[in-house]
């Protein structure tokens, strides 16, 4: 005698009612059982050879948020044509839009489709005119309302016209097409025999209540057995974004190493972003192509006069630093211009202008902006890791050791240093790390000791070790990504898939 649980019995009986063949959605409708309960029952029934399960991959379509919005209120062009006809078939565009209560962002799209569908003409870019009576519902609209009712549908459930309209709505980014596994259950011979014989459905208790225990009834009822091998329900608790997790990890590493965090504003004056770092005012990095300048407000305040003057003189002739400077006339206006900071070194130098006494160990892990084309390896906003150490007698060796320790905490054990150039450090170097996963060396950032031309105007009398580099590269390594845009795209499936701990 096969022993079955309540839900398995119900599934079998439903299957019998449906002539021995049905998919999970149909069983769900007829039996009223939950999806997960049917899936679990199916597994057992198949194991006991009472049913056979056929799996088939089917394409299914589902409206996204914007699609649902249009399904509710009508496609934007439909709303315009409705309004236009109500206004007598001819009216200024503005008026039609207003009457249709159409959101600004849909206007261009709606006008485009009015034209494409031949519903109306736009004359002199201002007047909308339509000749015809109300155009009938198109296949795209049929599909929209069909999906509004059903939530999602497989291709097979759609009429030929609606199937054709899928690509139109997909192109308009109103729906998603996904592969869905459809499971069909077929009652086997043994299954038929069993249901024909009939069985009494014994209600199972899945919750042991205090009443059952106190009254002693628990002895009589049939308790549902736990299936400890059953797959759990998928569960997506709130969690910290993967990029934010890497940022936190970088912060924790710095804190472990005895650094203190500093933060500054995203918008800085060119003074702190460039001038204080001895970058000449005609330096190519300052060009619009590389740097975002603010249009409004355009300028910000400079620090106290003595600091500004010292910076000006250092640029012009080297001031007391022994350097010759850059030999040009320094402009305070240029220094006042507001920029989206291009590096967090703007914050470390600003910090140093106010804290001159060693020992100092501060860091920042924060956002910076550069006017870059967005590609798989670049974004216009990203994060930098930045740190400085100020102490008597520190040298480049200390800097190299600090960086080695830092990267090794990220699992990057082999670090090499190459000489390179920055206007504000001397000597300057670049850190390259070996990534075993990729089997190659990659560049992770710049470093060096601040030059006298940077230190003297700020009144700093001790050596300063400084370094900074991109965080996203490390994040991509940690998260196994080959496209940086994934970090900013908010793709839910990826965010959900990415584990909280590696
Ligand atoms: N600011 C440099 C960059 O953005 C990195 C750097 C920081 C270099 C500190 C030297 C010292 O690439």
Tell me the percentage of the chain whose pLDDT exceeds 90.
78
Give the pairing of strands 21-23 and 175-187.
antiparallel
Please write the tens of the pLDDT for every residue from 236-269. Answer: 888 999 999 999 999 999 999 999 999 999 999 9
Residue nearest to atom 4 of ligand 1 (CA): 343
What is the end-to-end Cα distance of the chain in Å, rounded?
Answer: 48
Helix residue ranges, H only, 48-75: 65-73
345 lines ligand 1 (CB under 6 A): yes
pLDDT band at 502 (very low <50, low <70, confident <90, very high): low
More confident residue, 154 or 304: 304
Please write the tens of the pLDDT for every residue from 311-357. Answer: 999 999 999 999 999 999 999 999 999 999 999 999 999 999 999 99
Greatest CA separation for the chain: 104
* Total-model pTM: 0.63
Tokens of residue 467, six digits: 């370094």
Residue 214 is predicted with a pLDDT of 96
pLDDT band at 499 (very low <50, low <70, confident <90, very high): confident
When pLDDT is averaged across residues 28-54 and rounded to a whole number, the result is: 92
Please determine, for residue 363, whether its predicted confidence score (pLDDT) is greater than 80. Answer: yes
* CA 480–ligand 1 middle distance (angstroms): 25
Buried b (16+ CB within 10 A) or exposed e, 200-239: eeeeeeeeeeeebeeeeeeeeeeeeeeeeeeeeeeeeeee
Residue 253 is predicted with a pLDDT of 97
When pLDDT is averaged across residues 288-295 and rounded to a whole number, the result is: 93
When pLDDT is averaged across residues 181-194 and rounded to a whole number, the result is: 92
When pLDDT is averaged across residues 276-280 and rounded to a whole number, the result is: 97
Tokens of residue 375, six digits: 């590609």
More confident residue, 220 or 313: 313
What mean pLDDT, rounded, does the chain reach? 93
More confident residue, 225 or 68: 68
385 lines ligand 1 (CB under 6 A): no
When pLDDT is averaged across residues 360-386 and rounded to a whole number, the result is: 95
Please determine, for residue 1, whether its predicted confidence score (pLDDT) is greater than 60. Answer: no
Which residues have a Cβ under 8 Å from the Cβ of 488 and sit 6 or more positions away? 243, 379
430 lines ligand 1 (CB under 6 A): no
Pocket mutation for ligand 1, best pick of 389, 445, 465 (most atoms within 8 Å of C-beta): 445
468 lines ligand 1 (CB under 6 A): yes
* CA 303–ligand 1 middle distance (angstroms): 22
Residue 192 is predicted with a pLDDT of 92
11 lines ligand 1 (CB under 6 A): no
Pocket mutation for ligand 1, best pick of 286, 381, 468 (most atoms within 8 Å of C-beta): 468
446 lines ligand 1 (CB under 6 A): yes
When pLDDT is averaged across residues 392-408 and rounded to a whole number, the result is: 96
């Amino acid at each position: 005698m096969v022993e079955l649980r309540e839900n398995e019995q119900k599934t079998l009986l439903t299957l019998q009612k449906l002539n021995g063949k049905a998919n999970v959605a149909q069983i769900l409708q007829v039996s009223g059982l939950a999806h997960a309960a049917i899936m679990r029952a199916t597994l057992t029934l198949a194991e006991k050879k009472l049913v056979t399960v056929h799996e088939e991959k089917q394409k299914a379509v589902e409206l996204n948020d914007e699609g649902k919005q249009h399904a509710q209120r009508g496609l934007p062009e439909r709303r315009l044509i409705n309004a236009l006809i109500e206004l007598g078939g001819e009216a200024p565009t503005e008026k039609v839009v207003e009457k249709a209560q159409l959101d600004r962002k849909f206007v261009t799209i709606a006008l485009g489709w009015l034209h494409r569908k031949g519903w109306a003409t736009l004359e002199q870019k201002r007047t909308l005119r339509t000749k015809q009576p109300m155009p009938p519902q198109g296949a795209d609209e049929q599909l929209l309302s069909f999906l509004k009712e059903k939530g999602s549908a497989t291709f097979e459930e759609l009429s030929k016209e609606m199937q054709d309209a899928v690509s139109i709505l997909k192109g308009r980014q109103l729906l998603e097409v996904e592969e869905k596994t459809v499971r069909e259950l077929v009652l086997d011979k043994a299954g038929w025999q069993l249901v024909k014989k009939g069985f009494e459905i014994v209600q199972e208790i899945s919750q042991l209540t205090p009443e059952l225990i106190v009254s002693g009834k628990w002895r009589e009822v049939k308790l549902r057995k736990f299936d400890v091998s059953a797959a759990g329900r998928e569960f997506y608790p709130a969690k910290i974004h993967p990029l934010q997790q890497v940022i936190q990890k970088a912060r924790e590493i710095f804190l472990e190493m005895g650094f203190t965090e500093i933060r500054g504003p995203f918008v800085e004056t060119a003074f702190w972003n460039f001038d204080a770092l001895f970058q000449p005012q005609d330096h190519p990095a300052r060009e619009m192509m590389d740097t975002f300048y603010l249009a409004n407000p355009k300028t910000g305040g400079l620090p106290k006069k003595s600091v500004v003057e010292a910076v000006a003189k250092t640029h012009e002739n080297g001031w007391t630093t022994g350097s010759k400077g850059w030999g040009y006339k320094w402009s305070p206006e240029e220094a006042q211009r507001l920029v989206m900071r291009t590096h967090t070194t703007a914050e470390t130098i600003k910090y140093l202008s106010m804290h001159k006494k060693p020992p100092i160990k501060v860091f920042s892990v924060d956002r910076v902006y550069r006017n870059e084309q967005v590609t798989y390896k670049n974004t216009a906003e990203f994060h930098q890791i930045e740190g400085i150490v100020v102490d008597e007698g520190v040298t480049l060796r200390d800097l190299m050791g600090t960086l080695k320790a830092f990267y090794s905490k990220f699992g990057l054990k082999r670090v090499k240093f190459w000489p390179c150039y920055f206007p504000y450090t001397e000597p300057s170097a670049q850190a390259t790390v070996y990534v075993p996963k990729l089997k190659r060396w990659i560049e992770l950032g710049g470093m060096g000791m601040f030059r006298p031309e940077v230190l003297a105007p700020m009144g700093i009398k001790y050596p300063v070790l400084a370094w900074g580099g991109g965080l996203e590269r490390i994040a991509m390594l940690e998260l196994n990504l080959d496209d940086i845009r994934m970090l900013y795209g908010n793709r839910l499936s990826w965010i959900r898939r990415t584990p909280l701990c590696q």
